[in-house]
Amino acid sequence: MNNSMLLAIEGWAIALIILCCLLAAGLVVLFVLVPIKQWFIALVSGSHISMTRLVGMKLRKTNYRLIVNAYIMARKGGINLTAADLETHYMAGGNVENIVKALIAANSAGINLDVDLAKAIDLAGSDVVEAVETCVTPKIIEVNGIAAVAQDGIEVKVNVKVTVKTDIDELVGGAREDTVIARVGKGIVSCIGAAETYTELLENPSSIADAILGKGLDDGTAYDIVSVDVSDIDIGRNLGAKLETEEAEKEKKLAEAQAERLRSMAVAEEQKMKAKTQEMKAAVLAAEAEIPKAIASAIKEGKFGVLDYYKLKNLQADTAMRASIAGVEQDSGDGEA
């Protein structure tokens, strides 16, 4: 064997080794980058996804296993969705499994649910699966403990059950359950307040339900009200009587205050009259104190004799005796000259 043949054999051997190395490297890269298992599962499930798409999902750190499972579910359920749609929704923060389940359920129930609308509902924070289920099977919202006062002053407490179903078209941007509860509560208060007596409501509870249904309380909400059923009516306090009692108590206190003011004025006037009486007594005593002086002066001037003085003393003694017998207290009005 000549040298040229040996060189040829060596070249082929080197080439074969290089080819084997490249093939091995390619297989390593293939198994590292391409999710072979998910690709094979999708392939045998009749929901083929290209290796390029799977490699892209893996490089973008997308949960490709979830995307593949949701895509297979959608294809099996007859939903026209692409892997790209699911990945986009996943990257936007949506729940791809929920929208696929909701679309399948809506398709089975004959509900017209668009893919874009399902995505929008899911991204808005609503449970799109529950929304579809509520479209098929209405749910009950309980509104309890709503109290108001009828025109006769009796407090009435009402509990109602509101049956609603979801309005898919209004779910995005429509008011939610809290708004429905608030509107129904307002309608109950209005109905109770319009009743002349509480017995009207006890005799005909359906009037409350009819009034609520007639107000169109579901306008602008994500629900359609199917029915309103009054589950319980209780009678509370007699607020009318309570208010009358409080008013009477207030008037009583006002009258007592006025009477006390008049009594205080009378006491003040009595004290004033007593003060005047004391002043007059003081004046009388002052005048009586001048009598002995006047008598002494009259005796000195000869205008009043000693006999006249003794007659005056006898008259005073007789008067004092009469007053003592009559039980009348009399002050002495004279003095020694």
Instruction: With beta carbons less than 8 A apart as the criterion, state whether 101 and 91 touch.
Output: no
Give per-10-residue mean pLDDT for the chain (337 aa).
61 72 61 69 80 80 86 86 87 89 87 85 84 85 87 87 85 80 88 86 85 82 86 79 75 86 87 87 80 78 73 79 71 43
Q: In 94-120, which positions are buried (b, 16+ CB within 10 angstroms) versus exposed (e)?
A: bbbbbbbbbbbbbeeeebebebebbbb
Angstrom distance (rounded) from CA 89 to CA 116: 10
Q: Does domain 138-240 have CATH number 3.30.70.360?
A: no
pLDDT of residue 335: 44
Q: What is the pTM of this model?
A: 0.55
pLDDT of residue 336: 42
Q: Which amino acid is at 161?
A: K
pLDDT of residue 337: 35
Instruction: With beta carbons less than 8 A apart as the criterion, state whether 235 and 198 touch.
Output: yes
pLDDT of residue 33: 59
Helices 115-123 & 83-91 angle (0-180, nearest 10): 20
pLDDT of residue 155: 85
Write down the domain spans for the chain: 34-135, 138-240, 249-326
- Could you say which DSSP state residue 221 is in? B
Q: How far is CA 101 from CA 73, 80, 117, 251, 315, in A?
A: 8, 13, 14, 70, 132
